Amino acid sequence: MLVISFSLTWVYSGTRASTMAMAWSLTPKHTNRVPFSTVPSLEQNKEIVGAVSRRQAASTAVGAILSSSSLLLPWISGAAEEIPVLYDYENRDRKSNRDALIREDYWFMMGKAPPRLLTGPIKQDDPQWNAFGSCSTQEGDGAASNSCTYVSLKQRFPIYSKYGFSIALGAKEYAALGELLRKASRESKANSTSNASSLLKEASSYVTTPPQQSPPPPVDALLKMVLFASGMLTSPNYNGPNKRLLVARYYANEVGFAVREVSDAIMQQDTSRAIAAWEYGRDSWNSYFQIVNEAVTPKVGDKFDLIV
């Protein structure tokens, strides 16, 4: 006969309960079992009744504790799927940018990461060198222009013509990927697993390159984002990568990470993780656009639209 032994541990941190753990174990009470066909004796009947009573008491106690915990610990009440899982992508171990599109980005060079989402332009480098070998700030067209950081229209226009369309298409397809993932999430919550699986399968085509085929637009745009930033933000008068270029590289690397993370989450049929990775990638796309759009003037082309 098996008797359920129950133990409950309640740990407090300060004035609030931080951990509640319940451990159940099935422990053999007797090694000599009574055959099912044998009528139990009076002593065995008493033991069975006692065991049932203990199980009922334990069940009642657990029910009371869980009921009261909904008041004391509202964040652990309810179904498990309602508790959001947080993915701290921006603070992950980047392993010295081993898997990045380009290693030398702002995080690698400066030892710190920019914010997850840029909401405006960043302050660019403004070197003031003397006339003996160097750049200087000059007045022109009614505004000051720094020849150290100025990138000519002659340089920017062909770069935009070469990479701009592919990057814009990649962002557009990435936005469509987000719609598919959200639909899959709704179908999954409605217990329509077949529809959710079909949507995830379709979503995988946006981030997975089939053998012997061209990569999908979001994947194809990744390396082009790095090349585009280098051509649009690098002045021939300024040796080495400037701050804006390093930050643009950082966000391009984060987009690359997000694409890989979405692909892996889809293969694991983990819709929540896929959406979290997609949202991180969306913020990285938009931050990248905040930087490079400054160099996209009307004579160069249309600015990139942010992903919503």
Structure confidence at residue 300 (pLDDT): 97
| Architecture field, domain 89-295 | Up-down Bundle (1.20)
Alpha-carbon span 200 to 164, nearest angstrom? 29
Task: Give the start-to-end residue ranges of the domains of the chain.
Answer: 2-82, 89-295
| Chain segment 170-192, per-residue pLDDT in tens | 999 999 999 999 999 999 899 88
Q: How many CB atoms lie within 10 A of CB 224?
A: 17
Residue 4: closest CA among 52, 47, 61, 36? 52
Task: Indicate the pLDDT class of residue 32, thresholds 50, 70 and 90.
Answer: very low
Is the model's pLDDT at 9 over the cut of 80? no
Q: Which residues of 126-162 are buried (b: 16+ CB within 10 A; e: fewer)?
A: eeeeeeeeebeeeeeeeeeebbbbebeeeebeebbee
| Chain segment 60-115, per-residue pLDDT in tens | 443 443 344 333 333 333 333 444 568 899 999 999 999 999 999 999 999 999 99
pTM, full prediction: 0.69
Q: Are 175 and 206 contacting, i.e. CB atoms less than 8 angstroms apart?
A: no
Share of the chain above pLDDT 90, in %: 57
Is the model's pLDDT at 34 over the cut of 90? no
| Chain segment 129-148, per-residue pLDDT in tens | 545 556 655 544 434 467 77
